[in-house]
A = this chain, B = another copy of it.
C-alpha cells in the first residue's frame, strides 16, 4: 500500500475514440483513470491528481506530449512519475529517445492494449514495488505498512484504521501539503461523501495518538490549504 486504494493513471490522448478505449481497459485493470485531451490540461492535472503513472500521446495540438514529458521531468516533484509515451511511428521512437525527454517507456501505435497494460503495470511495480519491506520513517516516527505497526521513539502507538491510513498518506510524502479534498480522496476513497471537516477531526485524533507519550506535534496545519507532515 504505497498509497491506499487504486493506482492512479493520467491518460493524455487527444483522439477521443482511442482515449475511451484505453480508459476502459485501464479501469478494468484496476487503475483509477483521469483523462486529458491536451497538454495544458495534463500539466494541471498532474498537480491536482498526483498520478502514479502517466500515459502520454506524442502528437497533440498546442503543448505536445514530448513537451509535457520534458517539462515534467525537469521538475523534481514530478520527475519520479513514470511516463509511457505513445507514438504513431516506429521512427519517432528514435527521435523521442534522441531528444532525451526522459520518458520511461515507449509504445508504438498501433499497439496491443494488452501490451500497454503490461507495460503500465511494469512501470508501476518499478516505482512502487508492492511496498515490500518498506518502512516509512519521519523524524522519530516509524511506520511499517506490512505489520501495520507505528512507533514513536520507543513506544508503540495504537491507531484506528482511518488514523493509520491518514498517517501512511502523510508519511509517503513528508512535507507535502495535502488539501482536505485530497486527503478525503486518498484516505477515504474517491466516491465517499463525507464532510471535509471530518478530516479535521481525524487529524486531531491522529495528533492526539501521536503525542500520547509526549513529543512535539509532527502535523503542520497550513491555514487555508490543508495539512502536512513536518
Contact = CB atoms under 8 A, between A and B. Distances in A.
Contacts of A25: 129-130, 132
B17 A148 contact: no
A133 B28 contact: yes
A146 interface: yes
A190 interface: no
A29 B89 CA distance: 10
A177 B149 CA distance: 10
A110 B29 CA distance: 8
Number of copies: 2
A20 B28 CA distance: 25
A192 interface: no
Contacts of A61: none
A170 to B, nearest CB: 12
A175 interface: yes
Contacts of A18: 121-122, 125
Contacts of A147: 175-177, 228
Nearest to A146: B176
A123 B175 CA distance: 29
Contacts of A125: 17-18, 21
B161 A123 contact: no
Interface string A28-66: 111000000000000000000000000000000000000
A160 interface: yes
Contacts of A228: 147-148
Interface of A: 15, 17-18, 20-21, 24-25, 28-30, 88-89, 109-110, 112-114, 118, 121-123, 125-126, 129-130, 132-133, 146-149, 160-161, 175-177, 222-225, 228
Given A17-B125, A114-B130, A161-B223, 5 more contacts: A18-B121, A29-B110, A110-B121, A146-B176, A147-B228
